[in-house]
Amino acid sequence: MTASVTDIGVHRSLAHWRAHPIEFIETVLFDPETGRPFKLLPAERAFLEHAFKIGANGKLLFSDWLYSCPKK
């Protein structure tokens, strides 16, 4: 059984998670096969840091993303 957001004590605002998507992935999202939180690879972290950049107007700089890597 996987933990819910309430069970793990994650009480953050939507604005916080929008500003910290990597933290959201590694804190709130769980792998359904293992029941453990996701742990991003360095390449995944770098991609997300770039993809979620915000412009001066407060909007994402990129509207389309494509991530690809070899399967483990």
User: Domains of the chain: which residue ranges?
Assistant: 1-72
2-53: pLDDT as tens digits = 555 554 445 678 888 888 999 999 999 999 999 999 999 999 999 999 999 9
Which carries the bigger pLDDT value, residue 12 or residue 70? 70
Neighbouring C-alpha atoms within 13 Å toward the C-beta of 72: 1
Which pLDDT score is estimated for 15? 83
Q: Cβ–Cβ contacts within 10 Å for residue 20, how many?
A: 14
Residue 39 neighbours by CB under 8 Å, 6+ apart: 26
Which pLDDT score is estimated for 16? 86
Q: Which of 25, 21, 22, 18 is nearest to 58 (CA)?
A: 18
